[in-house]
A and B are shown apart, each in its own frame.
Chain A
Amino acid sequence: MFFQKDIETMSRQEIEEIQLRKLKHQVQYCMDNVPFYHERLTKAGVTADKIKCLSDVQYIPYTTKADIRDNYPYGLFAVPMNKIVRIHASSGTTGKPTVVGYTRHDIDIWSDTVARFCAAVGVNENDIAQISFGYGLFTGALGLHYGLEKLGCAVVPISSGNTKKQAMILKDFGTTVLISTPSYAMYMSEVAHECGISNEELKLRIGLFGSEGCTDALRDKIEKGFGLFSTDNYGMSELQGPGVSGECEYRCGLHIAEDHFLPEIINSETGEVLPRGEKGELVITTLSKEGIPLLRYRTKDITRIHYDTCKCGRTHARMEKVQGRSDDMLKIRGVNVFPSQIESVMANIEGISPHYELILTRKNYTDYLEVRIEINDVNLLENFGSLEAKQKEAVDKLKTVLGIQAKVTLVAPHTIQRYEGKARRIIDKRNEAEA
């Protein structure tokens, strides 16, 4: 199903013509309305006229999260406050949040791009959509909310938390579409089953999971747990929120809304633009934003982009599922480790729950990784050897995938923290004073 079929299936040439036209406009717009960009672009000698083809985007300097923070709160806004109808912010783990403002037109585009990926998996006006993202400054909940309303769904804005009630409403309201983080969906299915609600009593058919990474293996577990089909979507508040890209029913990459966002892939260390098809950091230039336009924004997310037409008929480029944010990457004993790699190992071991915790410590200048996993198969208790074998299996599989000897600790069910939003599974104690 399509929300804006003509746009979503136009030829590559048409897409690029639109992108070039909009890019020139956006550069001019930034030059005229954002002092920060006026200075940057002037210094770099870039003007809208000098942009003759899409690859000329490379002459524009990058924008980083730090730039947004340095101009806290409204320094990068391109319009006066009387044109802003919404303000969101992403919680900074350090320091001030990054603040973004939306004009009415921005909200409209945002809702369109969300409606596209929702329609792409078959969500329609007959659906009842339960939004279990936390509402607030975070863009996930309201982004989906507006997009789903635009599609004509009945939106249930329950927000996150009170999981037993969530389960009750899933059943009583006949919810057909669930919106949450993958971690929360998993937790909710556990709670629903504990409350005696079986999948047969639920009408759930689609999950729109996002706001944190999710491996295919974990997705399979959630889908089995709830008996639904799910897709992944991507975005970040700086760029607008969800809707920058999203999977279609074929789940072979996330279609980027290319009429509104111009993607590039760069080498995150050198800043050099990489040829099409290579893997690197995703950089996005907003093409339609009025409130806070961003030129060449460094997302820190590592992916690869495919430009061939998808089986679904969409021509918009597909980015691979983000394997990990370059910020999330852990360096353990000099080895690069993405938490998603550990998650995929965990999800492929039978008899343990998908909840886990990573604890990093440092002793005598050496890093130690401890992985705590919950056993959830009572049959393991029949025989002491099978518990030991399970522990060894986890150690061996981690070693194969990560190349690191980890300590695996088996813990009792329900002892690892559950999350109603993004899961925080990494406890890095390496910077604490050595005991």
Chain B
Amino acid sequence: MTTQQLSIFMENKPGQLVQVTKTLKEAGIDIRAMSLADTKDFGIVRMIVSNTEKAQEAMREAGFMSTITQVMCVAMDDQPGGLSRITELMAEAEVNIDYLYACITVIGKDAYIVMHVDDEKKASKCLEQAGIRMVGNEEIANM
């Protein structure tokens, strides 16, 4: 199972990130997970939000370039070793993780991580076999 991620191009100038979050807030969109990779000059903000299409439309109107990518949102035990178990499983299956970041939202005992891998099918199969749950957009929207 995959979930939609919104990637936004950001110039590295003051106030850009604020404008991103403000735009989403005004559109009534909640951010579930977010990561920012940047150099001195530019960055990419990646996020899982409550309504991806609506978020992209709002960003477009605000003049930002963005794209929607399928990523995996994996539920894990919110206790020591949770994350390492997943990375170990991926290593065993020889799946490369391109990037990974944590969800802001924690419900009950579950925590979530977002990851983009080079072989999504293989990764899903291996996580399923290990009894690890993945969530889709619907569940994220209702978090």
Contact = CB atoms under 8 A, between A and B. Distances in A.
Interface string A381-411: 1111001100100000000000000000111
Contacts of B67: 378-379, 381-382
B65 interface: yes
Interface string B78-102: 0000000000000000000011000
B15 to A, nearest CB: 13
A388 B9 CA distance: 12
Interface in A395-435: 409-415
Contact of A381 (B11, B63, B66, B98): B66
Given A375-B65, A413-B65, A415-B63, A381 B7 contact: yes
Nearest to A379: B67
B41 interface: yes
Contacts of B66: 378, 381
B21 interface: no
A376 interface: yes
B69 interface: yes
A375 B9 contact: yes
Contacts of B37: 384
A79 B7 CA distance: 67
A413 B61 CA distance: 12
A412 B44 contact: no
A54 B63 CA distance: 59
B69 A382 contact: yes
A383 B9 CA distance: 11
Interface in B35-69: 37, 39, 41-42, 44, 63-67, 69
Contacts of A388: 39
Interface residues on B, range: 10 to 19
B41 A391 contact: yes
A381 B41 contact: no
Which among B10, B65, B69, B99 has the greatest number of chain A C-beta atoms within 10 A?
B65
Contacts of A414: 63
Nearest to A407: B41
B8 interface: yes
A410 B63 contact: no
Nearest to B13: A411
Given A375-B9, A388-B39, A410-B41, A383 B98 contact: yes
Nearest to B67: A378
A412 B7 contact: no
Given A379-B67, A381-B66, A384-B44, A411 B39 contact: no
A411 B11 contact: yes
User: Which of A379, A382, A414 has most B Cβ within 10 Å?
Assistant: A382
A412 B41 contact: no
A383 B44 CA distance: 9
A376 to B, nearest CB: 7
13 contacts: A375-B9, A378-B65, A380-B9, A381-B8, A381-B9, A381-B66, A382-B69, A387-B9, A387-B44, A409-B42, A410-B41, A413-B65, A415-B63
Interface of A: 375-376, 378-384, 387-388, 391, 409-415
The 7 closest A-B pairs by CB, nearest first: A378-B67, A381-B7, A381-B67, A384-B37, A413-B65, A410-B42, A412-B65
